[in-house]
Structure 1
Amino acid sequence: MIAKLTKTYLLMTIQAKTVNEKFLQVDGHKIRYLESGNFEKTLVLVHGLGASAERWEQVMPIFAEKFRVVIPDLIGFGYSDKPLADYTIDFFSDFLEKFLQTANIRSPYLIGSSLGGQISAEYTATHQNDVDKLILVSPSGVMKQSTPALDAYIMAALYPNEQNAKNAFELMEGSGESVDHRIVSSFIKRMQLPNAKLAFMSTILGLKNAEIITKKLPSILTQTMLIWGSDDPVIPIHHADDFVSSIKDCRFVRMDGCGHTPYVQAPREFSEKVLDFLGVY
């Protein structure tokens, strides 16, 4: 067996919805994930660089009204193990395959944000029959030059203090409004965990050395929706053109007034667009 599911450790509550915190083993590494909802159809959400499952906490209870929602902490991030490894896109795509197998998830709806979007796109491109519908949120994979917001985020990861983290998240949001202190403090806490910085920087190097994803996108035959914040300062919205023009069946949704994480800034609007695309709204 590739991995073995272990016991449920505790229960959490996010916005009055019961959420199970669970752990399983993938290639001998402990992987944490959150689960909510008791439905046959599964919706899997994949977070971005340096984040954790909690990044989706505002939309999770909405989706859990319609689906079994599963949100892993990617290997190397959150409270999953952080082995010494080359954190390439192939490494993450392979991890996602093994995680879905171990969690007994077949043909899910798959949503990936930023790095999680690139991972989800790469996985779908090589697993056409294993993803029912695909949703990409400001995915990485085509931008080869950094932006000031991304530079600030990398600085916050390397030197995780309140000033750096607050500055980075405010830049990424792009609205000029203050960021929830919980987001800042949880990021600082996670980046101070053993090997967190090594996994983060290995991922940055993996992204830098990866081929532009455009060549692989035509292989995605799965019905896809692309969501992008109009004011995204991390991966600017003009990069959406590469995805829309390369994926055969791709619906594009622009979320005005949002930055890099519209599911954090406008969770209700984001959820409505997703549920409409999935045909359950």
Structure 2
Amino acid sequence: MIAKLTNTYLPIIIEAKTVDEKFLEIDGNKIRYLESGNFDKTLVLIHGLGASAERWEQVMPIFAEKFRVMIPDLIGFGYSDKPLADYTIEFFSNFLEKFFLTANISCPYLIGSSLGGQISAEFTASHPNDVDKLILVSPSGVMKQSTPALDAYIMAALYPNEQNAKNAFEMMEASGESIDQKIVDNFVERMKLPNAKLAFMSTILGLKNAEIITKKLPSISTQTMLIWGSEDPVIPIQYADDFISSLKDCRFVRMDGCGHTPYVQDPQTFSEKVLDFLGAN
């Protein structure tokens, strides 16, 4: 028995909508996820490096009006367990398979951001019949060298304090506007949890040693949307061309004025683009 679902959950509020905070068990590890919406079709959102399910809190209420929305804290991140392991892309893809199985998710719409995008692409490439539609947001998987914004983010993860985190998130958004203090505080809190830094750095090493994702993209027959912030300083928009040219069926959306997380900076436009692609507008 590799996994089991528990009944433990706490209702929380995101923008006046009830969201259930639940936990399940995968290979002996406690995995946290958020769930909202009571519909037959499921939409799963996968966060990026060092993040948690809350990264999607601006768009979750919008999507929950159309779908059953499920957002896990990836193993090693957020408030999920952080076992000693090699956090490779294959490790995360296998985790996603087990999460779908345990949470009774069948052929969902799948959205992945940054690291979550690479994981989602990896999973879809190896499970061609298990994803209905795929949405990648500034995905990792092609860029091998670092950027100043990514360096700042790694620094904030290794030395989690308010100033480092604030500096990193301001660079990542590239808007010149102040960052919500809650984002800063939550990041610092999570990175101080046991084994959080180990999981973070193991993931960085796993990304560096991973095969370039473009080699696997041609095997994806699933209809795909690629969304990229025009001002992304973490994974610059120039890398979008590698995905567009490698995917068989790809719709590209450039979000002008946005940095690495357009769903945080412009959640309304982001949601409209996604719902239109999913035929839910």
**What TM-score results when the alignment is normalised by the length of structure 2?**
1.00
The aligned counterpart of 2:263 is 263
Q: Secondary structure at the match of 2:96?
A: helix
Runs of 5+ consecutive residues of structure 1 not aligned to the other structure: none
The Cα shift of 1:227 comes to 0.1
- Report the secondary structure of 2:129's partner residue: helix
What do residues 63-95 of structure 1 show as CA deviations (whole Å, max 9, x unaligned)?
Answer: 000000000000000000000000000000000
Q: What per-residue deviation string (whole Å, max 9, x for no partner) do you get for residues 210-262 of structure 1?
A: 11111000011000000000000000000000000000000000000000000
1:172 aligns with 2:172: yes
Partner of 2:226: 226
1:280, 1:33 → 2: CA distance? 24
Give yes or no for the alignment of 1:74 onto 2:74.
yes
| CA–CA separation in structure 1 for the residues paired with 2:94 and 2:219 | 17
**Aligned AA for 1:31?**
I
Q: In structure 2, what residue type is equivalent to 1:243? A: F
C-alpha distance in 2 between matches for 1:58 and 1:214:
30
Task: For residue 99 of structure 2, give the secondary structure of its aligned residue in structure 1.
Answer: helix
Letter in 1 for 2:103: A
Partner AA of 1:145 in structure 2? Q
**What is the match of residue 129 of structure 2?**
129
- Matched residue of 1:166: which SS? helix
- Please give the alpha-carbon distance, in whole angstroms, between the structure 2 residues aligned to 1:138 and 1:10: 31
CA-atom RMSD, angstroms?
Answer: 0.4
1:189 Cα deviation after fit: 0.1
**What residue is the counterpart of 2:83 in the other structure?**
83
For 1:18, the aligned partner's letter is T
**Counterpart of 1:14?**
14
Distance 2:256 2:111 in 1: 20
Partners in 1 of 2:202 and 2:144 — Cα distance?
Answer: 16
Distance in 1 of aligned mates of 2:233 and 2:22: 34
The percent identity for this pair of structures is 85
1:107 and 1:129 in contact (8 A); partners too: yes
Amino acid in the other structure paired with 1:112: G
- Normalised by the length of structure 1, the TM-score is 1.00
CA shift, 1:9, in A, is 2.4
Task: Mark the runs of 5 or more structure 2 residues left unpaired by the alignment.
Answer: none
Superposed displacement of residue 2, structure 1: 1.9
- Rounded to whole Å, the distance in 2 between the matches of 1:63 and 1:73 is 18
CA distance in 2, matches of 1:209, 1:133: 28
The match for 2:213 is 213
Q: Is the 8 A contact 1:8 1:20 kept in 2?
A: no
The size of the alignment, in residue pairs, is 281
What residue is the counterpart of 1:120 in the other structure? 120
CA contact (8 A) 1:11 1:18 kept: yes
Query: What code does the residue aligned with 1:215 have?
Result: K
Aligned partners of 1:59 and 1:268 also within 8 Å: yes
Q: CA deviation at 1:7?
A: 1.4
Distance 1:9 1:277 in 2: 32
